[in-house]
Amino acid sequence: MTADPLTRPTRTPEEVRAFYDTHRTVRHYVTQADGSPLPLPAEHLDAILHAAQRAPTDATAQLYSFIRLVSPEVRARVAELTTNAHIATASEAFVVCLDVRRVGRVLEVAGQAVGHWPAIAVHFGIGDAVLAGQNLLTAAEMLGYQGCWIGGVLNGLEGILDLLELPAGVLPFAALTLGLPAEEPPLRPRLPRSLVVHEDRYQDGAVEELREAIQIMNPIAARGDRPGDWVRLLRAYFALGGSMEKREPGLVAALKRQGLWAGGE
């Protein structure tokens, strides 16, 4: 007999909001006395990885892989390459990759020729990787842990490709750390919903709406005694001469190296 969905255990809207309001980006974790990572109980890790694999996926292909960082030496090197020291001290650390290699190998084993679709590979591979990674993080938060998505893999892509021996068709999207939090960051603001949720068609925010959004977001950029200045943070990443421009050549080179470049020369 099929269960009536209305009789299944549910959460109230207030409970859902409260759960997601507990989310924090945490970089400092409880460690063992010697500073080494505090292992997760085996059943917790199993449940977290189960959740990751239950993520939606395009065309059933599961176009992602997780590289679980276990060796202290590998962790230390990835921490160095990404400039994110907490990779070495988190209870668990992963490199979340798009992976179109495996589906190609499945086709070859089944006697089928693999098509050429590098742009599609990046589109759906990143989508699958993010969906699985966020499932993993949400499951960890349900068990009382916190974590951090790490875009700093772009700081050392070539070294990460070599260190983790990632073959063609596999590309790191981000790293992801988990553990018991040893810090209590404040709840970070988000943009007004009217700028993010559009009805029927895309709408540019009015100048005054954008100025208001800057004021709302300013606290996210506060650092110690320095007042929050969101534009300063965005400028450092996305403005002319910012870090995203500096990362761009490395990402293009990695896409080409991994057979995932669909642009011109």
pLDDT tens by residue, 166-216: 999 999 999 999 999 999 999 999 999 999 999 999 999 999 999 999 999
For the chain (length 265 residues), average pLDDT per consecutive 10?
Answer: 65 96 97 98 98 98 98 98 98 98 98 97 98 98 98 97 98 98 96 98 97 97 87 96 97 97 86
Architecture of 24-185 per CATH? 3-Layer(aba) Sandwich (3.40)
The residue type found at 75 is: R
pLDDT for 6:
60
Residue 148 CB coordination number (10 Å): 22
pLDDT for 220:
94
Comparing C-alpha atoms, which of 131, 78, 75, 122 is closest to residue 99? 122
Could you say which DSSP state residue 25 is in? B
CA 160 to chain centre: 16
* Cβ-contact 68, 92 below 8 angstroms: yes
| C-alpha to C-alpha distance for 189 and 93, rounded to whole angstroms | 26
* Cβ-contact 170, 133 below 8 angstroms: no
What residue spans of the chain are helical by DSSP H? 13-21, 42-53, 72-82, 101-109, 118-142, 157-163, 193-196, 207-217, 230-238, 243-257
pLDDT for 3:
59
Residue 245 CB coordination number (10 Å): 12
pLDDT for 223:
81
> Which residues share a beta bridge with 86?
none
pLDDT tens by residue, 22-32: 999 999 999 99
pLDDT for 4:
64
